Every structure is written in C-alpha cells, then in structure tokens.
C-alpha cells in the first residue's frame, strides 16, 4: 500500500458513506464538500494514530515502517488541508435532518470547533518543523493523542446528518475507536509491550562526525534480518527517547548488534558526545522490510553516506549467497566517510561482490550504471537504494536514461522526520 492509496481510499469511503445520508439534490453544494472533507480530516487523523502505533500487521501492509511513517506524514498534511476548507464553509443545510450526537452548550460547541482546528494545525506543524530540537519535538508530538480527542469531541457535538448507526457514523466511530486505542498504546503501553531487549554498549568508535556503536545483550538478544532497523533508547539523561537507526550488522550467535550513526541532529550529536562503554540501552526491534532479492540476475546496491548501513548487514549475512552478481556503490563525502571506503571494499571483496566507491559526483554514478547496463539486459538489473532524497532523484533519472525499469528500484526512506 502506498501513501496515496491510503489518503484517496479514506476520502472515497468517507464520501460514499456520507452521500448515502443526504438528499442527492444537495450533493453538489459547498456544504456537502465541507461535511465530507471535515469527516475525511477526522478519519485521516484516526488512521494517522493507527500508523504511529508501529503495529507489525500495519507495517506489513505498507511494506516497511519507513513507508508507514511517510503515509503518517501525508495523512496529517491532507487532514489539515481538508479541515481548512471545512472551517471556512458551513457544513450544514436546512434540507438535511441534522442533529448533534452529543449535546453541548453553544459556547462549548463553538470552543471545541475552534480548538479542534488549532489542535490539528499544531500536530501537523510540529511534525513537519525540523528546526525544533528532537527532545522537545518528541514530547510535543506525544500530545497528538490527547489533541485527537478534541477533534472527536467536535465531530460528536456539531449538528450534522451523520448518526452513529448510519454507515458514515459506523465508519467514523470504528476508525476513531481504533485510533484512540492506538494512541493510548503508543503513549502508555508501548514501552512495556513492544518487542525490546536490554543491551550494554560494548564498543564505541568515533570518527569524522560519525559514531559506530556495538552493543551486547544483557540477557539475550532478539533475532533480526539483515537490512532491518531498530529504535535505540539509551538509559541516560537526555538520551532516553527511542530513535530509529539501521542495524549495520547481520544477526550473530553472540547477539551483538551494531549501529553506524551520523551526528547530524541534536540527538545524534548528544549521543556522540555522551555515549561510553558500559552504558545501558533499550532496543526496540526489529522493524523494516528492506530485503535483498537473491534471485535477481544482476544487482546494484547504492548506499549514500550512512545509507550504506543496510548493505553492510547484507554483506555480513552468512546465509546469503550469489554475491558475484552484485555491484556495491558507496557514495560518500571523502571528508566524512564513515565507515571508510577501504573498509567497505574489503567486506565486499571477501564476499565476492564488486565494489565501486566514489564521492557524490553524479558523473561517477552515471558511469557505473551505464557500464552495468551495457553488460546486462537493463530489464534484469535490480537496484536497491538507501540514501538522501537528492541522490535518489539522480538514481531515478539515470535509470530512465539507461532504460532500467523504474519498477526494478527498491529503496528505503532515509529520513523519518
């Protein structure tokens, strides 16, 4: 499932169920559009709460938690767009048999209406604002659940043709009920129920603005597949909030787990400065469905910066085979490369994979794709990518240029926030 599938699907179901409740001669009015979009905004918020709970069933539907978070973001954006129209245009007509599901006084009905829009705006703006420190942003974003209750109160208190036993009422009630449960789970129960393990920092390597952590399980580790990621929460002041990082190792018998982290944000910079051997951490994992295609005739792996991490884990997977048809492309900034190109090259050669290391110049990347496309039928080339969006755009353009089908590209979203 893709983001637009979710947004459009919710809008269609909401529209159809509401149109069943009102006279057909009022369908093409601004009031009907306002009612539909207001209900769709509520449904989007409920679905967004569901996605934020990190339930594995939902993750499988979307093909990975990175896709879930991407859809979560777009649901919030479109909810704000829909709610803006709903705020401006009246969502009621005399021809409708309108009534409130829960009666409030006029003062509270109006106040809840205004607060619901402000609440939604705050949720979306906080989610998209990258200038807010992560520790502050995360605590503010935790208010999304309680603020969602205000939006539900607005739906229940304003006069509309929607009743609880109608198709649209049942649709919204089920979605909102699941959304409230998901928000409660994420806010209160997640640390106690989610799959997690206690780990101790076994080794720390710091170089060129990056950090390599090796952690050992205190009791026993959890199984994971190469290419997955985890949420790391250090048991230290200022570092307790779970933060997602790709696991830069394959599963090992001793249960040790590795992370390669670029110190770009306030959290990662603080982690780089404070982490020491012996510190304890909780790791919530595994997540992600970024897997290798072992049956591909020709593979190109492209890792940009710390986006090389999942490919490092693929190289370390002892059960994996057929590395002779793999070309690993490591795109890096020479002044900040970590791990070094020499390290990655050694790992690739040990598994029999071809290694191509170069800086972020598009000319070098274009030459690699041109050469491989000349050696193999472009239709049989599978490309796996993890890196910044700008580099991803270059890869897509080069694929079109060399007639490699866009469906042959698999990638993991590089950023969650």
Q: What is the DSSP string of 74-123?
A: HHHHHHHHHHHHHHHS----TTS--B-SS---HHHHHHHHHHHHHHHHHH
* Res 73: pLDDT: 87
Kindly compute the dihedral angle of the four CA atoms of residues 91, 95, 101, 106, in this order, to the nearest 10 degrees.
60
> How much of the chain is in helix, strand and coil states, percent to nearest 5?
50, 20, 30
pLDDT in tens, 5-31: 999 999 999 999 999 999 999 999 999
Q: What is the CATH number of the domain that holds 234?
A: 2.40.30.10
User: Is residue 65 a part of any domain in this protein?
Assistant: yes
| Same-domain check for residues 306 and 189 | no
CA 397 to chain centre: 24
Residue ending a domain, among 153, 178, 193, is 193
* Res 16: pLDDT: 97
Residue 42 has pLDDT above 90, yes or no: yes
Task: Count other Cβ atoms within 10 Å, centred on residue 194.
Answer: 18
* Res 46: pLDDT: 95
Q: What is the CATH number of the domain that holds 35?
A: 1.20.120
User: Is residue 377 a part of any domain in this protein?
Assistant: yes
* Res 133: pLDDT: 67
Contacts of 393 by beta carbon, 8 Å cutoff, 6+ apart: none
The fraction of the chain above a pLDDT of 70, given in percent, is: 94
Task: Count other Cβ atoms within 10 Å, centred on residue 6.
Answer: 23
User: Is residue 292 a part of any domain in this protein?
Assistant: no
Q: What is the CATH number of the domain that holds 380?
A: 3.40.50.80
User: Is residue 39 a part of any domain in this protein?
Assistant: yes
| Same-domain check for residues 323 and 282 | no
User: Is residue 210 a part of any domain in this protein?
Assistant: yes
| Same-domain check for residues 189 and 200 | no
| Listed residue (65, 31, 100) closest to 417, CA to CA | 65
User: Is residue 417 a part of any domain in this protein?
Assistant: no
> What mean pLDDT comes out for the span 120-144?
70
Q: Please give the mean pLDDT across all residues of the chain.
A: 87
pLDDT in tens, 268-322: 888 888 999 999 999 987 888 888 887 788 999 998 888 888 898 999 888 788 8
* Res 360: pLDDT: 56
Is residue 168 within 8 Å of residue 162, measured between CB atoms?
yes
Residue ending a domain, among 265, 287, 309, is 287
CA 249 to chain centre: 21
* Res 417: pLDDT: 43
| Same-domain check for residues 45 and 178 | yes
Domain containing 398 equals 298-412
| Same-domain check for residues 156 and 58 | yes
| Same-domain check for residues 38 and 15 | yes
* Res 150: pLDDT: 87
| Listed residue (72, 277, 89) closest to 186, CA to CA | 72
Domain count, the chain: 3
| Same-domain check for residues 246 and 228 | yes
| Same-domain check for residues 181 and 227 | no
| Same-domain check for residues 245 and 152 | no
Task: Count other Cβ atoms within 10 Å, centred on residue 207.
Answer: 12
Please state whether beta strands 196-207 and 280-287 pair in parallel, antiparallel, or not at all (unpaired): antiparallel
Residue ending a domain, among 287, 306, 321, is 287
| Same-domain check for residues 21 and 89 | yes
Give strand ranges (E) for 218-279.
229-234, 243-246, 257-262
| pLDDT level of residue 113 (50, 70, 90 thresholds) | confident
Highest mean pLDDT pick, 209-223, 363-377, 397-411: 397-411
Contacts of 131 by beta carbon, 8 Å cutoff, 6+ apart: none
| Same-domain check for residues 113 and 83 | yes
| Same-domain check for residues 51 and 171 | yes
User: Is residue 293 a part of any domain in this protein?
Assistant: no
Q: Which two tokens stand for residue 172?
A: 């919204």
* Res 127: pLDDT: 66
User: Is residue 79 a part of any domain in this protein?
Assistant: yes
């Amino acid at each position: 499932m893709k983001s637009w599938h979710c947004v459009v699907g919710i809008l269609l179901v909401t529209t159809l169920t509401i149109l069943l409740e009102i006279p057909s001669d009022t369908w093409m009015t601004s009031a009907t559009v306002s009612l539909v979009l207001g209900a769709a905004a509520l449904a989007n918020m409920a679905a967004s709460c569901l996605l934020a709970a990190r339930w594995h069933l939902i993750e499988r539907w979307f093909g990975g938690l990175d896709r879930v978070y991407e859809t979560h973001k777009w649901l919030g954006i479109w909810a704000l767009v829909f709610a803006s129209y709903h705020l401006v245009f009246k969502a009621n007509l005399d021809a409708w048999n309108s009534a409130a599901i829960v009666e409030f006084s006029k003062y509270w009905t109006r106040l809840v209406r205004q607060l619901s829009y402000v609440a939604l705006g705050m949720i979306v703006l906080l989610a998209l604002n990258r200038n807010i420190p992560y520790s502050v942003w995360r605590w503010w974003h935790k208010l999304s659940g309680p603020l969602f209750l205000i939006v539900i109160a607005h739906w229940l208190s304003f006069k509309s043709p929607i009743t609880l036993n109608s198709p649209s009422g049942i649709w919204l009630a089920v979605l909102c009920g699941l959304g409230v449960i998901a928000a409660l789970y994420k806010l209160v129960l997640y640390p106690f129920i989610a799959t997690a393990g206690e780990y101790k920092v076994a080794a720390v390597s710091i170089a060129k603005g990056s950090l390599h952590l090796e952690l050992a399980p205190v009791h026993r580790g959890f199984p994971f597949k190469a290419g997955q990621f985890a949420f790391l929460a250090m048991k230290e002041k200022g570092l307790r909030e779970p933060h997602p990082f790709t696991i830069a190792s394959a599963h090992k018998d001793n249960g040790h787990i590795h992370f390669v982290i670029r110190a770009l944000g306030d959290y990662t910079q603080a982690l780089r400065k404070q982490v020491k051997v012996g510190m304890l951490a909780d790791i919530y994992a595994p997540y992600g469905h970024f897997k290798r295609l072992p049956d591909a005739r020709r593979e190109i792996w492209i890792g940009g910066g710390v986006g090389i991490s999942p490919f490092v884990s693929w190289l370390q997977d002892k059960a994996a085979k057929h590395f002779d048809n793999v070309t690993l492309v490591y795109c890096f900034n020479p002044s900040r490369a970590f791990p070094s190109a020499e390290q990655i090259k050694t790992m690739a050669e040990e598994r029999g994979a071809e290694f191509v290391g170069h800086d972020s110049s598009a000319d070098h990347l274009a030459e690699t794709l041109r050469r491989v496309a000349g050696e193999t039928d472009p239709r049989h080339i599978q490309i796996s990518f993890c890196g910044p969006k700008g580099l991803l755009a270059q890869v897509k353009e080069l694929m079109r240029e060399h007639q490699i089908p866009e469906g042959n590209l698999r990638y993991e979203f590089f950023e969650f926030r």
